[in-house]
Every structure is written in structure tokens, then in C-alpha cells.
Amino acid sequence: MSEAEQTPPAEPPSPENPLQGGCLCGAVRFEITAPFLSAGYCHCTRCQRRTGTGSSANGRVPQSGFRLLQGADRLRSYQPPTGVPKLFCAGCGSALFSGDPLSDEQVAVRLGALDRDPGIRPQFRQFLASAVSWESIPEDGLPRHPGSRGT
């Protein structure tokens, strides 16, 4: 899909315009009240494994704009040998966050967990070096990084 065909982003989340999301079984629910700082696609092997897809769409919000509404007892964390923990729902396995959503400065949220438009569009693609062979990378004009896009 070209950029021209993309739906324009909705109003970004704010205290007056909160954005909710949750896991597949509904046990974990959360709310975002600040605009996303960034968003992008990750084609790394870990994202492929934890989602079962070719890439994962993620966005980052400031911790101050994130609130866990319910399901703290259902959240589980997988700590890979390196990098930040990956959080998921114990009931349904939905991939939800990375890092610690309650204490880290920023929370990485899986965009597929959101109830509605995040108010931002993915801005980059990273870890293209490990992209799957069975799916072509869309010609979407986004910057492509072979490894991490850095910070």
C-alpha cells in the first residue's frame, strides 16, 4: 500500500481522548493518555517468534501516559538472554508490551493490541537483515534499517 492510500492518523491519545487496548481474552486492559513518541515495524527474529508473523508493529509512549487498568496478575514476562523483557497475557498469549510498563521511562506497546487508531503511523522499518523470505517488504517509503534503528 502506498502512503497516498493510507488513512490519515486520528487524534492522538490525550487525557481527554484516552486510547484503550487489551489482549485477546480481555483479561489485560490498559489505557494511553499521551501521544505516541514513535512507531515502527520490527523485522527481528524475536518479533517473528513471539508474534508468529513476519514483522511486529510497535509504538512508544511515555510512562506517565500509560495506565494498566486490569489484569496485572495475568501479565507474564519473558526475559531473553539480552535486551528487555517481553510481556504477554498468561491466559491467551497475546504479545502486549516490552520493557516494564509500570516503571520504565517509556512503554513499548504492540499496536495490534489497541482498540482504535493510535494517532500515529509507523515511521521506520528495522532489522531488515532478518526479514522473512516469504513476505515482501511493502514499498511504503519508510526508512529501512538493516539492524536496530538506534535511539
Positions touching Zn ion (CB under 5 A) are: 23, 25, 27, 42, 44, 47, 89, 91-92
In whole angstroms, how close is the CB of 105 to Zn ion at the nearest point?
19
Residues 6+ apart with CB under 8 A from 53: 47
In whole angstroms, how close is the CB of 146 to Zn ion at the nearest point?
13
The alpha-helical segments, DSSP class H, found in the chain are: 45-51
30 or 66: CB nearest Zn ion: 30
54 or 62: CB nearest Zn ion: 54
The alpha-helical segments, DSSP class H, found in 7-125 are: 45-51
In whole angstroms, how close is the CB of 14 to Zn ion at the nearest point?
27
Phi–psi pair at 33, nearest 5 degrees: -125, 20
Residues 6+ apart with CB under 8 A from 141: 2, 3
14 or 51: CB nearest Zn ion: 51
In whole angstroms, how close is the CB of 6 to Zn ion at the nearest point?
22
DSSP string, 69-83: EE-GGGEEEE--SSS
In whole angstroms, how close is the CB of 38 to Zn ion at the nearest point?
14
Q: Which of 143, 104, 141, 124 is nearest to 55 (CA)?
A: 124
66 or 88: CB nearest Zn ion: 88
12 or 149: CB nearest Zn ion: 149
- Provide the β-strand partners of residue 97: 87, 109
